[in-house]
Amino acid sequence: MKLGILYTGGTIGCIGNPLSPMTLSEFKTAFNNIITPIIISEHSDFEVDFIDFGSSLDSTNLQPSNWCDMAKDILENYDTYGGFMVLHGTDTMAWTASALSFLLTGLDSSGNANAVLSKPVIVTGAQLPLFCEGADISDLSLLYNTDAFQNVCGAIESIYSGVPEVGLYFDNKLLRGNRTIKTNASEFDAFSTPNLSALGEYGVEFKLNNQYIKPAPVTQAVSLEQTSVQALLSEQLTYITSNINNSTVIPFNSYPAFYDDTSSPNTSILANMLNACIDQGVNGLVLESYGEGNFPSGNPDSPTDGAIYQALEQAHENNTVILDCTQVIAGTVNSTAYESGSWLSSVGSVGSYDMTPIAGLTKLIILDALKNYSTNNWQQADIETLLQSNIAGEIMNVNVLDCRENSTLIAGESISTLDGGITLINDYDKGPLLLDSGNNTLWQAIDNPIADDMPGRLIMQSDGNLVFYNSSNTATYASDTVQTSPATSKLILSGDSTSGVSLYVYYYAKNVVTKTLFTNQS
């Protein structure tokens, strides 16, 4: 295999005291002299090239345009290499891994993927340098007890495994890039994905956890193996690069701060800070709330009078997209769980579910940069919908059953509209039910369920058919939407409780709806 390495800088490529970055030429020479022979002892077909990224970066000073440069270098060399390793500083490594997953995914005007990775892109780095300096720069050796060598080896094994996504390898674990956060500043075990298991682990042998890995492109028509698909993504990436500096998205933490709910109007330090951001014309706000998505309104007894409520309401009216995340490391945002967060939907905020604030911020920056690309014409509501939709594995499938990923609802499990107002639940006694917020039945798969047949499983099958199997594993409902191979399909619950919903089977290999099970949308 021929590997392309993008050396952007970071501790892994530093030497000396104090540490300073090696040039690409210096790092390449040392890598080929010291590391490559060791890799070849394990993989006899191993070849490596270094892609010229230009000057090395201190990742602390990285900016969004640098993500575009990295994605461009990968795309321009896509046919040359079997996989890519991005060597990067740890400070912003999680941001880069997340951003690359979105930049290397093409989207059509409906938000469907029309360009999908077919090769591994693995981001890694180290807490300690890879090399140590001898008498001069030409006299280098492997640094004693460095994590850098293990991370390079693990990244190479990850690439040999062929995982078709952007990963982050660190301390014996392959993690999904857009699920990653840095959780330790001083230990080798620096990164984790609290809401998703590791994609792979390197012990005595490298082992993949296949159930968590993203599937390969659904057809060659969307695979980056195709020159036409590369050209499509290149055009999109060029547009993003030209517009990304104008996409201003700001993370905003909740914290205990002074507010006065007795004055008229109410005042608040947090509101003053928000208004200062809004006055600059920000395109997006990523709220890092307490707990399950609770954010102070500035008036606990009357949230609508609170200065923070009014600041966010004004921001949304000014077309700022507001994403509600949590500052807690793990868990899911459910801002309706507590009264202190339930007001957020009234000002137009949308929940992030299990997406990290890092993924939310990078995703929102890129979606905003794409809003006027080609035929997109994405409005505020379109971007909000895409934020809550799974583009590159960064978020749970809230309103979808996908035959290639989360295909099954066992008894008691459900999917819902993105606003949570309408739910499709696999009821223990009645099977699949579509319920509104008042638990009224909108659609029922089985008209007269037999008690002895319950509970059962609802499965979006790989043949394109949605089937309910009873407790005896007998099919008692089918959508009759069997397709020829590849029959990759999704069950989608779209819309919201205000404007109406549609429940339908979508054959995404051919981009067609094969059956609408229920709709009350005009």
Q: Would you list which residues are annotated within the binding site for substrate?
A: 59, 90-91
DSSP 62: -
How far, CA to CA in Å, does 92 sit from each of 9, 64, 180?
12, 11, 11
Three-class DSSP labels, 449-484: CCHHHCCCEEEECCCCCEEEECCCCCEEEECCCCCC
Q: How far is CA 317 from CA 2, 289, 346, 499, in A?
A: 51, 21, 12, 19
Q: What single-letter amino acid sits at 181?
A: I
List, in order, residues 6 or more apart from 96 with CB less than 8 Å away.
59, 62, 66, 67, 70, 86, 88, 123
List Cα–Cα distances, 7 to 98, 126, 244, in angstroms: 18, 13, 23
Q: What gap in Å lies between CA 30 and CA 364, rounded to an integer?
A: 39
Tokens 């500043």 — which residue? Answer: 185
Point out the catalytic residue in the list 90, 105, 124, 241: 90
Q: Is 90 a catalytic residue?
A: yes
Active-site residue flag, 248:
no
Residue 432 and residue 479 in contact, taking contact as beta carbons nearer than 8 Å: no
Structure tokens at 106: 């093409």
Distance CA 171, CA 192 (A): 10
In angstroms, the CA 240 to CA 234 distance is: 10
* Rounded Cα gap, residues 31 and 142, in angstroms: 10
Report the candidate in 417, 415, 342 with the shortest Cα–Cα distance to residue 385: 417
Structure-token match 């395109």, residue found: 283
Give dist(CA 261, CA 188) in Å, integer.
47
Which residues does the annotation place in the binding site? 59, 90-91
d(CA 290, CA 2): 46
Structure letter (DSSP) for residue 280: T
The catalytic position among 11, 92, 105, 124 is 11
Q: Phi first, then psi: what are they for 364, rounded to 5°?
A: -65, -40
| Residues tagged active-site | 11, 90
